[in-house]
Structure 1
């Protein structure tokens, strides 16, 4: 399932970008079927990125630099996961708003009303939270590039992800291009690595026995 997620997460993200372009042909995005379908695709993509983050953590080589490397990978994974949760929150609220709103004005009003839902954390955190996902994912790929197999494709992965996020930030209409760059960045990591974190733990358990 994890290997599929490395392909399917950016694929659904690309599909969301394509639907978004169709939805925006009249000069505005949502509410309506295209808005709902697009954000359902986006939500599916985000959930699969959870498997991607977990997969990058499991594939992290730890044969050398053991504890420090595991702690770093765990901290980066946690940061990316927290950011991803806030991203999922955004997608869910957008779906609810799209289903409830009758027109663009009501959609905007409902978005403002739900801006701090759930009101358990400051709204500012919800606004910057998704950035943690981007930073965490990029940092995990940087760690793989530093400690992983010496392949040009692995070294290029964090560069491609940063470029993807820059492209998407500059213009959301470029979301399909950004998703394609993320897929290229993740592709080298679809292959299992022999000295991953779980393998290291299994080796320690075997030695102890």
Structure 2
């Protein structure tokens, strides 16, 4: 599942970005079928990023010689990324609900404001910064993996660089979402292909045997 998620998560994000561009040709994004379909692709992408986070975390833990500090750091960063991802999923779900209920852009904006703090279990500020934590956590995991991964360090180091450029592009302009998704795809493919990363289970087994 993790290997599939490495490809399918950014692919669905790229599809959402393309649908979003089509939806915005008239200068407005939603409501309507394109808004709903695009956000369904986006929601599917986000759910698959959960498997990506788990996969990178597992690979770090499986590397032979990984100490307790490395495992704790990886666990914390995975938790940060997962929490951010949950808040991101919340955004996608609310956008879908708002798009289905709204009859026009003005009503969509009004409903968006109404649902801004739903569910009201955390301060709204947490919901606003939450998605950024997903980006920070995933980037930190790839940086840590590049630092401890065996094999070609230059290739491993390129993965978080591509991810950082992708996040910067998306943050600067959502119209660059397809480009950002393509860069994320490249970052994850490089990480998956790095020697020794294809099978965390085998790596962990070799480490135990060597011990």
TM-score bucket of the superposed structures, by smaller chain: over 0.9
Distance 1:194 1:120 in 2: 40
1:61-83 per-position Cα deviation (integer Å, ceiling 9, x unaligned): 44224211111111110000000
Residues 63/37 of structure 1: CA separation in 2 closer, same or farther (3 Å cut): same
Of residues 193, 197, 209 in structure 1, which corresponds to 2:197? Answer: 193
Aligned-CA RMSD value: 2.1
Task: Give 1:134 deviation, angstroms.
Answer: 0.3
Alignment correspondent of 1:174: 176
Distance 2:198 2:183 in 1: 26
Pairwise mapping of residues 9-20 of structure 1 onto structure 2 (< 5 A)?
9-20=9-20
Q: Tell me, yes or no, if the aligned pair for 1:43 and 1:88 is still in contact at 8 Å.
A: yes
Instruction: Give 4+ residue runs of structure 1 displaced > 3 Å after superposition.
Output: 194-204
SS at 2:28's partner residue? coil
For these two proteins, the number of residue pairs brought into alignment is 207
1:146-196 per-position Cα deviation (integer Å, ceiling 9, x unaligned): 000242221111111110011011110010000000001000232463784
Alignment correspondent of 2:132: 131
Structure 1: 5+ residue stretches without partners = none
SS at 1:73's partner residue? helix
Pairwise mapping of residues 1-209 of structure 1 onto structure 2 (< 5 A)?
1-60=1-60, 61-151=62-152, 152-191=154-193, 193=197, 196=200, 200=204
Q: Tell me, yes or no, if the aligned pair for 2:23 and 2:34 is still in contact at 8 Å.
A: yes
Distance 1:52 1:99 in 2: 29
Q: Tell me, yes or no, if the aligned pair for 2:5 and 2:51 is still in contact at 8 Å.
A: yes
Task: Give 1:197 deviation, angstroms.
Answer: 7.8
